[in-house]
Amino acid sequence: MNKSLKRALGVNALAQAAKKRLEGDYHVDEWGMDEGIRQSFWPILDFFYSRYFRVTVSGIENIPDQGRALLAANHGGAVPFDGAMVMAAIMREHPNPRLPKTLHVDMLSNWPWANYLVSRLGGVQAMPENAEKLLESDCLTLVFPEGGKGLGKPFAKRYQMQRFGRGGFVKVALKTQSPIIPVSIVGAEEIYPMLYDVKPLAKMLGLPWAPITFTWPWLGPLGALPLPSKWFIDFGKPIPIPDMKYRPSEEPLLVSRITAQVRDHIQKTVNRLLVQREKVFF
C-alpha cells in the first residue's frame, strides 16, 4: 500500500492498537468504548468525512458546549455511515468538540464481532434505560427514531421519512428534561442504493437485509465500497422540553405533538437540502 495512503488511513495506528489488545493493554468505559480503538479509526473516519463524502455542515452552533441534548436524525443507506458522519461533524466542526454517544438497534445478533466493534467505537444499544442514563450524565446522545425501517428502505423510497415508532425518544427527553436537536442528513441514501432485498439470503446469513445495489454484487469486492455521494448535515435549533412533573395526564398528547414536530422539521429540511445539492456525486 502507498505510504501516503497508509498514513491517511491510519494503518500503522490500527496495527499498534491491535497489538495492544492482544497484549491486554487497553481500557474500556462503562459502555464498552475503547478510546484507543476509536482514535485509531479516526483517520479512516476523517478520510470518509472530508475527502470521500465531502460533508457540508450547517447549524453546528445549535450543539451545546456542555450539558445534555438528544440528537434525533433521519436514517438511510443500508449501512449506518450516517451515525459516524454526525459524530465526525461534531468532533471536527464544533468549537468545543464533543463525542456523542450513538444509540444503535441490535440488528446483528448473529454477528457478534460487529456489535463488539460498534461498542468499542462508542455505540450503545438503543434501550430507554441506556438513553436515560446517558442523558442524566449530560452526554450528547444520538438516536435514529426510524430505526431499521429507515436504514433498510429501498432506493425508490429514499429521503421519505419512515414512522417514528411510538415516540420513545420524546418520552426519554421528557423524563430527563433534555432538549431535542433535529438532525437532517442528505447523502446517505445514495451510498448503497438498495434496488432489491434478497430476504431468504439475509435470513440465512443472520442479516437484517441482503441488498442488491447498482454495484453489488456485480463488481465483486469493489461493489462493497460506498458510492461517493455529496453529503449535507444540518443541526436544527433545539426543541425545548416542558416540565411534565405536575401534568402527567398531558404527556401522551405532548409526546405525539413533539414527535410529529421533529419528524416534520427533519423532512422539510431534507427536502430543502436536496434542492440545494446541485449534484449527487460531484
Give me the domains of the chain, ranges plus CATH numbers: 3-191+226-276 (3.40.1130)
Quick one: DSSP state of residue 163? Answer: P
Quick one: DSSP state of residue 236? Answer: P
Q: DSSP string spanning 158-207?
A: TT-PPP-TT-HHHHHHHHHT--EEEEEEESGGGTS--SEE-HHHHHHHT-
Low-confidence ranges of the chain (pLDDT < 70): 1-27, 107-112, 244-250
What local confidence, expressed as pLDDT, does residue 18 receive? 55
What is the chain's percent helix, strand, coil content, to nearest 5?
Answer: 45, 10, 40
- Using CA atoms, how far apart are residues 128 and 181, in angstroms rounded to an integer? 18
Return the ∠ at Cα 60 (arms to 59 and 62), rounded to 5°. 75
- Using CA atoms, how far apart are residues 230 and 7, in angstroms rounded to an integer? 24
72 within 8 A of 266, measured Cβ to Cβ:
yes
What local confidence, expressed as pLDDT, does residue 5 receive? 46
11 within 8 A of 1, measured Cβ to Cβ:
yes
- pTM given for the model: 0.87
**Which residues, including other chains, have CB under 8 Å from residue 146's CB and lie 6 or more apart?**
74, 75, 161, 162, 163, 164
Q: 3-state class of 276 per DSSP?
A: helix
Q: Say if strands 140-143 and 69-73 run parallel, antiparallel, or are unpaired.
A: parallel
Q: 3-state class of 48 per DSSP?
A: helix
**Order of all β-strands in the sheet with 232-235:** 56-58, 232-235, 180-186, 69-73, 140-143, 101-104, 123-125
